[in-house]
Amino acid sequence: MALPATETVSSRFDRLDAWDVPAILAALWEGQLAAVAALGPALPALGRAVDAAAARLAAGGRLAYAGAGTSGRIAVQDAVELVPTFDWAEDRLVVLMAGGEAALLHSVENAEDQADQAEAAVAAHGLGAADLLVGVAASGSTPFTVAAVRAARAAGALTVGVANSPGSALLAAAEVAVAIETGAEAIAGSTRMKAGTAQKAALNLFSTAVMVRLGRVYRGQMVDMQARNAKLRDRAVRMLRGLTGCDEAAARAALDAAGGKVKLAVLVVQGMTPAEAEALLARHGGKLRGALGEA
């Protein structure tokens, strides 16, 4: 059976262990650059995934991720950061990690073969027609991830597959296939290197673009962020002052009235009550640009 591209051996690195440290680092650095460059041909597929995902999520669906090992941990990182950065509701976020939470800190290698566990997890979370599942696997053949995507798609969910091996089972199973051809690793099968970097970059682009389309970014700023600490509260004040031209005292007062929510505070500075601001944003699907246009 043909090996996935990520598992093949490159003759170029046959003497990697005999090279000096500068040569080793230069070769590994080159691989990281190649990983990001490999995203270029995948951008059209990522664009289709973003459009489809934004439409599904704008209607109230949940965003789910599935993966195992390195790919799963990368997916989890992308998922959890959406909550503070874009105020994505935790009850609209589902993570299916082979081996469960224990696999985030410890290697649970056999978990990736448990397709039945993935199917059970999809059913337990009730993923269906309103939802979106993103499956991530370097080889594209991980049984857990492939099974999760197949089960979610059968239940009516939108499915996106991200893999580094073209023609793989995961890409065939997903409704939207994103193939990132990173090829052989400097250390054969060590997919935390090129493949992992490409996956992290792809998910960065995907989830950020989705949040932009959902109106959670305005003028290049994270106007839906959760200001949970002093640094972020100060950022919220600077953001509001920059967006409205108000002074610091007015910014802090508006943020207090808006419960710390920058988008609401922008409209409060315009003279609205928080309730009026919420209603206006709701009419424009949460998009501040549209709300300001009407105001």
For the annotated catalytic residues, the residue numbers are 81, 112
The span from the CA of 127 to the CA of 177, in Å, is 19
Burial class (CB in 10 A: 0-12, 13-18, 19+), 255: buried
Contact indicator for 215, 288 with CB cutoff of 8 Å: yes
Contact indicator for 16, 187 with CB cutoff of 8 Å: yes
Contact indicator for 108, 135 with CB cutoff of 8 Å: no
Distances (CA, A) of 61 to 22, 130, 283: 49, 5, 19
Task: Enumerate the β-bridge partners of residue 50.
Answer: none
Contact indicator for 100, 66 with CB cutoff of 8 Å: no
Neighbours of 115 (CB within 10 A): 18
